[in-house]
Amino acid sequence: MSNKNMIQKACLLIAVLVTIAFAQPLFVENFDYPSNNVLTNYGWTAHSGAGTNSIRVYLYGLVYAGYAGSNIGLSAKVDTAGEDINKTFTTTNSGTVYTAFMLNVQKAMLNGDYCFHLSTSPLNSYEYGSRFHVKRNAAGDIAFGLGKKHLDTAFTTFSYALNTTYLVVLKYEFVAGDSNDVLSMFVFSSGVPATEPTTPTVGPNTPAGADFPHIGSAILRQGTAANAPRVIIDGIRIATSWSVALTGIEESSALPPASNRLALSVNPNPFRDFTNISFNVNPQSVEQIRIYDVTGNLVQTLAKPSSNQIVWNGRNASNDLVAPGIYFITLETNKGNTTAKIMLSR
């Protein structure tokens, strides 16, 4: 490899690493540990009922197509009458916090109870909020609920089923002032919206009670046998943007820059079979459009476009399908260069 090529590759890797740094979630837990081990061996701390029916790594992981936490590692089984555990992360006290996870309900009770929630760092037992509830009706249909603390839990309809994997997103919006933060919940049975839907499944609600001073921990909770559900939870991702929480792609990669800047956008993103690459310059000024993987290796050089849009079909220079994952599109023009990050999900 020539020195020029080595320098070009090094520059691309630096750009990739900078882009990734800005897209990092606050918290990720894929339960990528040996089956049946207690989670307190892996950074989780028991704060109630320590050692009683300890929460363990479950024997399989959950799968939800298109979700960034899907099919990685194993999962956690959260049952009843046992230990509660927490894991802390860098705190945040402004903007919006999105908490996403996959959930499969194995058992639910009529009254229901909460099995997951957020809190502060360090954990404060007076700050148990964003409580996620599960209950059933007499027919065995499932409803999910979201409560700020112990008050005003709002539920979905009884339109969900046992032994089915769902993608759940809890949204907590910090609002200036007291007792006025906003909660919403989204529940999906298929698909991962690239942007936040206008209408949530539950909310937006402003429940009574004190707001979080900040958010800095995730909690798995096992309530009483009479009320608590038995669930499998996997792929917990907490971030300050919808796209980072759900797809791992930062929102800015899909948004056009200011009008005087070179703009490169990709849609759909994530994609499965093909994606449209569009830009805001005269196609005659385009010198190259290249696709790189996360290690900086060139995957494909696209033909020079005849319009402001070109399609990539997820194949390399040998016309072979490339592996699912993160890729980078670089647009090189006589006015400058720009890069967009994309995710291929087969």
pLDDT tens digit string along 109-135? 999 999 999 999 999 888 898 999 999
For residue range 277-317, list pLDDT tens digits in order.
Answer: 888 877 788 888 899 887 778 899 998 888 888 899 999 99
Average pLDDT, the chain: 87
Residue 58 or residue 191, greater confidence: 58
Out of 95-99, 301-305, 335-339, least confident range: 335-339
| Domain definitions of the chain by residue range | 3-17+251-344, 25-246
Say if residue 253's pLDDT is above 50. Answer: no
pLDDT at 23: 54
Say if residue 14's pLDDT is above 70. Answer: no
pLDDT at 226: 96
Out of 97-106, 112-121, 257-266, least confident range: 257-266
Find out if CATH 2.60.120.200 is the number for domain 25-246: yes
What is the pTM assigned to this prediction?
0.73
Say if residue 176's pLDDT is above 60. Answer: yes
Q: Which CATH architecture has domain 3-17+251-344?
A: Sandwich (2.60)
Say if residue 12's pLDDT is above 70. Answer: no
CA distance 129 to 210: 10
For residue range 206-243, list pLDDT tens digits in order.
Answer: 988 889 999 999 999 999 999 999 999 999 999 999 98
pLDDT at 227: 97
